[in-house]
Amino acid sequence: MTRTLLIATLTLPIVAWSAPSGAHELAKLERSLWINVSLATPKRGYWGLSFPEAVKPSETQIANAVGVLIRDANPNRLYLVHHHELPFGRTAEMFRAWRKSCPPSVELVPALVLRMYDKGNTPVFTEPELSELLTFLKAEINPARIAVYDVLPNREQGAGLSALAKVFPKGLVRVGLQPDEPLEAPFSAAVEDTWSGFCHGLTNDDWQERGFGRDTLRKWVASRNAQQFRIAYDLIVVGWDYANTKRGEYPGYDDAHKNLPLPAERNRLAVAEILAQAEPGRLAGFSSDLLIVELNSETPPHDGKASSFYETLKAGRGYEGFYATPWQEVCRIFKSLGNGDEPMNRPHKPRPVITP
């Protein structure tokens, strides 16, 4: 997956507004996860039309995945990513299975890919296909909210965006917003990608140095504070390849066979920064991208297809694979927030991690 990289080259300290202690109602913040509704690696309808249809998960597999995610991460929202990998009938069955398995306290938000990531940016849905899907989603899954998933900035979404805005006029969320990408109507909120800001720094001391990841993150939060929209920030599980860097600089590539786990405690430090810097009226909460975990987990140098992140979820097992340390850190953060606690005030001994 292509990710826009925004590495800070700041030479001056950032003067940022700091939220007073207790300014955020922590238990009410968004704690969301992005995950494929089909629990399958995105191919057909994502990269193009030449790929075979996804294999539809069984109701038991979906129920297993929900059980693990609720137990381990305690989310209050799931963005179910869909890119027409299956025809409408089986797609409806999948969404119904997710709704049946999730408790009412967990909001399901369909996150539709409107443009493929092929050379032509081909529309994923025809107008009749999208109309049928939206009618179903509004009636049975979420009457008020839907999302557009796109991890590339400033792409023209075509007629599909107008169709979504007409059916969901006050509840359109952009999932995968890039840090320097403007957010405009018809969107009312977004989940922002934070990959480069979280990754930049081999050690956590490096990350907190001037010009490294923390400065980048502060810049991004300050920028969103000046706008009118509520933003949820993406917590990172998959870092980049630190093996050939001196202090954790961007290596110049994003390779699912080489990407390492985000350093331990990095998410906790980043959450502390965001809570301190974000204005309460601009902070929606926190999120995490499980699609990218699957894409990196399934590669042979990491967990392999048979033991990938999605496969462990479908089997009803907690994930203990290559990226377990940052994933379990995200889970602890979500649980703390759900209890109304600040994660940075709940230190713990991190699991051992593989170091480059």
**Domain spans of the chain?**
26-345
Rounded Cα gap, residues 297 and 256, in angstroms: 8
- Band of the pLDDT at 347, cuts 50, 70, 90? very low
Supply the pLDDT for residue 343: 87
Predicted TM-score (pTM) of the model is 0.91
Supply the pLDDT for residue 51: 96
Q: Which of 337, 278, 317, 352 is nearest to 19 (CA)?
A: 278
**Contact status, residue 100 vs residue 141, Cβ threshold 8 Å:** no
Q: Mean pLDDT, to the nearest integer, of 224-247? A: 97
- CATH pick for 26-345 out of 1.10.3470.10, 3.20.20.70, 3.20.20.10, 1.10.10.10: 3.20.20.70
**Poorest-pLDDT segment among 56-65, 276-285, 341-350:** 341-350
What is the percent of the chain where pLDDT is above 70? 90
- Band of the pLDDT at 23, cuts 50, 70, 90? confident
Mean pLDDT score of the chain: 92
pLDDT (tens digit, 9 = 90+) per residue, 140-158? 999 999 999 999 999 999 9
Supply the pLDDT for residue 349: 37
pLDDT (tens digit, 9 = 90+) per residue, 35-60? 999 999 999 999 999 999 999 999 99
Supply the pLDDT for residue 177: 98
Supply the pLDDT for residue 22: 59
pLDDT at 335 over 70: yes
Supply the pLDDT for residue 8: 34
